[in-house]
Structure 1
Amino acid sequence: MLVVTALASAISGFLYGYDTGIISGALLQIGDEFDISRVQEQTITAGILVGAVIGAFVGSRLAERLGRHRTILVVAAVFVAGTLLCSVAPSATTLSLARVLLGTAVGAATQTVPMFVAELAPPAQRGRLVLSFQLAIGAGILVATLVGASQQFSWRLSIGAAAVPAALLFLLVLKQPESPRWLVKVDRVDEARSTLQRLRGTAGAQDVERELDEIRDLVAHEQDAPVRGWPGLRQGWVRPAVVVGCGIALFTQLSGIEMVVYYTPTILTGVGFTRSDALLASVALASTYLVAQLVGLAVVDRVGRRRLALVTTPGAAAALLLLGALFVTGRDSPGTAWLIVTLLVVFMAFTSAGLQLIGWLTGSEVYPLSVRPAGTAAQSMTLWGTNAVLSLTILSMIDGIGEGPTFWVYAAFNVLAFLFVLRRVPELKGRSLEDIEGSLRSGTFRPGAV
C-alpha cells in the first residue's frame, strides 16, 4: 500500500515537473505561432504559478474538509481538464488563462500530496517516501526538456500529453486509504486503526496501538486548542515551524533554479547559441537535476536534512558567482559554451541535491496537526508566489541589468539561504511527526536543541 501511495505521489510530482518544465522548449514554438513579446512570454510562463498560489490555498481547505484522499482525486481531475484546455488554446491570452487553471492543480498537489504521504509513512521511511514526489519532479522536468529538445512534436501535443499520467493518478489514488491522522480528527478511529494495521504490515498490534494513541493525544490537544487552522499559525509556539517552512520555500525559489529551468534556452539563444544547442543544454541540466535528486534521496535519511543543505548551498552560490563573472567580463560566447554549461550543471547539481530536496520534505514534517493543512498551504503559497514573481521579472531583470549581475543577485540569495538554514533549521531526520510537534510545544525547535 505504501508503494502504491509513493507511486501516486511520484506521478503528481512528475506532473508538476512536466507541466512547469515543458514551457521552456515550448516557448520557442509558441513565440513563432503567436508572435508574442517578452512580457507575454513571462505571462504565459507565470500563469501556472499564479494558479498554483490559488490552488495551494483551496487545496488546504479541501484537505481539511474532504480529507487528503478525496482532495487528491479532485486535483487529478483538474490536472486532466487544465492540460487539455492548454493544448487547444487559440491565442496567447487563452493559453495563459488555461495555465492558471492547470496551476491550481499543481498548487493543490504540492500542498496535499507530500502531507498525505508523510501522514501515512512510518518515521524511518518518511523521508524517502515523501521525496518520491520531489524526485519525480526531476523526472518530469527531464522528460519535458527531452520532448522540447527533440523538436519533433508540436507544443500542443507536448502539453496535452500530460493528461495521460493525470488520469493514471486518479485511478491509482481511487483505491488508496485515507490518512489515519485525518480519520482520527473526524472521529473515525476504527478506520484509522484498520488503515494503520494495513500500512504497518508486520508491526505488532501493540506498536499500532501506540502510534494510534500518539495520534489521538495530538488530536485531543488540537480540539482543546483555542485556535486552529489559519488563525493557529499565529500562535507563538507554532511560529518557529512557519518560519522554517515558509523560509525554506522562499529560498528554494530565490536559489535561481526556476531561472535556469524556465529560461535557459531563452538566455543561451540570446548570447549566440543555436536553438538546438540551447535545448540540448537544457537536457543536460534536467538530467543533472534528476541524478542529483537520486544522490540526495539516497543519503538524506542518513546525512540529515540540515547538514545536506549546509554542505551543498555554498557550491550553488559559487557556481552562480562564476557564471556572473563570465557574462560581466564579456566571455559569454559560443566559444565558452562548454564553461557556461558546465557551471550551470554544477549549480544544478548542488541546489538539486540540497536546498530543493529538503524544501518539500521539511514542509511535510514541521507543522503541528492542528495547523498542518494551513501550514503546508502557507508554505506552498510562499513557494508559488515567489516563483510567480520571479518568472514575471527574470527576463525583464536580464534586459535591465544584464545576465551577469542577475546571476550575482541569485548567488547572494544562496548565501542568505545558507545563513537561514544554519541559524533557523533544526535537524528532523528519524523523528516522528508527533515528536517534532512536542519540540515545538516545549520551545526546543531550534538547531542544536532537538
Structure 2
Amino acid sequence: MTGFMWLVAVTAAIGGFLYGYDTGIISGALLSISAEYQLSHAMQEVVAAAILLGATIGGLCTGAVSERFGRRRTIIAIAAVFTLGATAASLAPDPKLLALARVVLGLAIGASSQSIPAYVAELAPAAQRGRLVVAFSVAIGLGILSASLVGYGLHGVLSWRIMIAVGAVPAAVLFCAMFALPESPRWLVAHERRDEARRALARVRPEGADLDAEIAAVAEAVSRSAEARTRGWRGLTRSWVRPALIAGCGTAAFTQLVGIEMMIYYTPTLLKGVGFGESGALLTNVGIAAIYLVMTGLGLAIVDRVGRRRLSLLTLPGAALSLAALGGLFALGRTGPDDAPFIIGCLFLFMVFQAGGLQVIGWLTGAEIYPLGVRAAGTSAQAATVWGSNLLLTGTALSLIHALGAGGAMLVYAGLNALAFLFVLSFLPELKGRTLEEVEAALREKRFTPRHFAAEPAARPEAATAT
C-alpha cells in the first residue's frame, strides 16, 4: 500500500471528523442553548435530533448524485454544504432556525457517511480495505472528542455559537483538498472511462502492480451488472442482492439502536438529571469521547486481522452487560457520590465494548457488501438506515428516560445490544480479506451466509493484489 493511498483515506476522513464534531458539539452546547432559551426536554430533543433528520435525507438521496457525478465531485459538494450549515447554525437567532440550520448541516453529514466510505473502499487494496475505511470511524471519534473538549474546556468561556462555527474550518480544508485526489476507478470504468480509471488506480498502487488485471476484474463486474440489469434502487430488490441488503441495513440500524449516540448526545444531561454537577457531567463526556477515539483506533489496527463479524461478536455481550449494570444502579437509586465511580465505570465499559466492536464495522460493512451496480443505492439505503435509526433513538431518548426512568431506559438499550449480537451471528458473513468482486460473486452464487464464508479460506493470495 502506498503513502498516497493513506493520504487519500486521511483526507476523505475529514468528512468523518466533521460528522463527529457537528453531531457531538450539541452535547456540551445544549446546556448553554437550553439555559439561554429555557428549552423543555421535548424542544431539546428537537434541537439535538434536527441534524439527524437532515442526515437521513442526505444519506438517502446522495447515492444518485454520486452515481451521476462521481464520488470525488460529490464529496466536494458535501464539503461546501458542511461549511454553509455550520455557519448558518452559529448565526441562528432562535431555536427554530437553529434546528433548521442543523437540518442543513445534517444533509452534509448523511451524504458524507454514504459517499466517503464507498469512495475509499473503491480505491483501497483488498488486504488493507478494512483499516482504510475504518479511518473514517476513527475520524468520527476524533471529531467527537474535539467537540467534548471544546464543550468542557470552553463552557462558560465561549459562546455556543463559536463552538458550532468552528466546524466550518475543517469543512473548508476538505473542500480544497479533494480537488487534488483521484476519482474512483470503479466509477470511471462503469462510465466507460477505462484509461482514466487506470491512471487513477496507478496513483494509489505501488510501482509494478498489475493494474490491467485489476481493471479487467472491475470491468467484468460492471459487465455482469449491466447484463443482469442489476442497477440502482430497483437492483436492490433482486433476490440475490437481498442478503446484502438485510445484512448491511440491519447492521447499520443496530449501530444506532444500541444506544451509543444517545450516550454521546445526552450524557451531560443524563448525569445532571441523576445528581452530577455540571462540570463533572461534562468531564465524564470527555472521557466517553476519548474512549470512543481510542477504541475505534484499536479497531482500525485489528479489523483486517480479527475480522468484522468476529470483532462484533466478541464485544457486544460486554456492551449489553455494562448497560444492564448501569440500569440496575439507576433503578436501585444508587446515584450518590459514593456510587459515581460505578456509574462512570459502566458508561466507560459500554463505550469500550461498543466503540471497539460494532461501531468499527458499521460504515465498513456498507462500503464492501453491495455489488457494484447497486453500490450507490445500497450505501444510500445503509446511510439512511443509520441516520433514521439515530433519529428515532435521539428523538425519543429523553422521553424514554422520562417515562421509564434512567434505569428502565438503560435496560431497554441493554436488550437491544443483545438483539444486535443475535443479528450479527445469524446474518453477517465474515468479509475479511475478500475483494469486492469476490463478495459480489458469493451473492450471485447464493453463498453469502456466515456458514458458507466460514467454510472458505479467510483470505486468498490473489486478494492482496485485487480490489
TM-score (structure 2 length as normaliser): 0.95
1:243 matched to 2:246? The reply is yes
Cα deviation, residue 223, structure 1:
1.5
Cα deviation, residue 368, structure 1:
0.2
Contact 1:89 1:98 in 2 (8 A): yes
Cα deviation, residue 333, structure 1:
2.4
1:332-343 paired onto structure 2 within 5 Å = 332-343=335-346
Cα deviation, residue 201, structure 1:
2.2
Counterpart residue type for residue 422 of structure 1: L
Counterpart residue type for residue 436 of structure 1: V
Partner in structure 1 of residue 461 of structure 2: none
| Pairing partner for 1:346 from 337, 344, 349 | 349
1:313-332 paired onto structure 2 within 5 Å = 313-332=316-335
Partners of 1:12 and 1:203 lie apart in 2 by: 32
Partners of 1:277 and 1:115 lie apart in 2 by: 39
Partner in structure 1 of residue 220 of structure 2: 217
| Pairing partner for 1:139 from 138, 142, 151 | 142
Q: Provide structure 2 residue ranges, at least 5 long, that are not aligned to the other structure.
A: 454-467
1:199-278 paired onto structure 2 within 5 Å = 199-204=204-209, 207-278=210-281
- Taking every aligned residue pair, what percent have the same amino acid on both sides? 53
Partners of 1:392 and 1:409 lie apart in 2 by: 15
Partners of 1:169 and 1:47 lie apart in 2 by: 24
**What is the SS of the residue equivalent to 2:417?**
helix
1:395 matched to 2:398? The reply is yes
Cα deviation, residue 88, structure 1:
0.4
Partner in structure 2 of residue 111 of structure 1: 114
Counterpart residue type for residue 109 of structure 1: S
Q: Deviations over 1:330-387 (max 9, x none)?
A: 1122331111001100000000000000111111000000000000000110110010
Partners of 1:342 and 1:391 lie apart in 2 by: 23
How many residues matched?
A: 448
**What is the SS of the residue equivalent to 1:367?**
coil
Partner in structure 2 of residue 383 of structure 1: 386
Cα deviation, residue 34, structure 1:
1.3
| Pairing partner for 1:156 from 161, 181, 187 | 161
Bigger drift between 103-112 and 149-158 goes to 149-158
Partners of 1:139 and 1:380 lie apart in 2 by: 20
Counterpart residue type for residue 143 of structure 1: S
Q: Deviations over 1:190-209 (max 9, x none)?
A: 101111122112233xx211
Partner in structure 2 of residue 412 of structure 1: 415
Q: Deviations over 1:164-207 (max 9, x none)?
A: 00000011111111100000111101101111122112233xx2
Partner in structure 2 of residue 191 of structure 1: 196
Bigger drift between 150-159 and 44-53 goes to 150-159
Cα deviation, residue 226, structure 1:
2.8
**What is the SS of the residue equivalent to 1:449?**
helix
Counterpart residue type for residue 218 of structure 1: A
Partners of 1:182 and 1:153 lie apart in 2 by: 44
Cα gap change, 1:110/1:69 in structure 2, threshold over 3 Å: closer, same or farther?
Answer: same
Partners of 2:292 and 2:172 lie apart in 1 by: 26
Partners of 2:64 and 2:11 lie apart in 1 by: 21
Q: Deviations over 1:79-110 (max 9, x none)?
A: 00000000000000000000000000000000
Contact 1:310 1:418 in 2 (8 A): yes
Q: Provide structure 1 residue ranges, at least 5 long, that are not aligned to the other structure.
A: none
**What is the SS of the residue equivalent to 1:400?**
helix
Partner in structure 2 of residue 174 of structure 1: 179
Cα deviation, residue 30, structure 1:
0.3
Partners of 2:85 and 2:248 lie apart in 1 by: 28
| Pairing partner for 1:95 from 95, 98, 110 | 98
Contact 2:230 2:374 in 1 (8 A): no
